[in-house]
Amino acid sequence: MATEKFTELQGFSEEDLLAELTATEAEYQKMKFDNVLVGLESPIALREVRRDIARMKTEVRRRELVAMSDAQLAKRSKIRARRKK
């Protein structure tokens, strides 16, 4: 079952998604820094932001795979098969 955040990300345009990813990564770095210096009120927030970043990166990669041509997908499959050996 898709989470609310994941369905929201699917509605973003490519530029909006990349901008959101950049902003969220910057926010995460700031939160980590603040956590080391003074501590956060809720350290669980770090985990939530980290998971949001992973969701965004997953959506970016999914869109890259959808945009690939058949030749690129075939080449990708060969690389993956070679790694399994």
Percent of the chain with pLDDT over 90: 46
Taking all residues of the chain, what is their mean pLDDT, rounded to a whole number? 87
Query: pTM for the complete prediction?
Result: 0.80
Q: How confident is the model at residue 58 (pLDDT cuts 50, 70, 90)?
A: very high
pLDDT, one tens digit per residue, over 67-85 is 988 888 888 877 777 777 6
Cα 56 from Cα 25, distance rounded (Å): 10
CA gyration radius, the chain: 17
**Looking up tokens 């999914």, which residue turns up?**
62
List, in order of start, the domains of the chain with CATH numbers: 14-84 (1.10.287)
pLDDT, one tens digit per residue, over 14-36 is 999 999 999 999 999 999 999 98
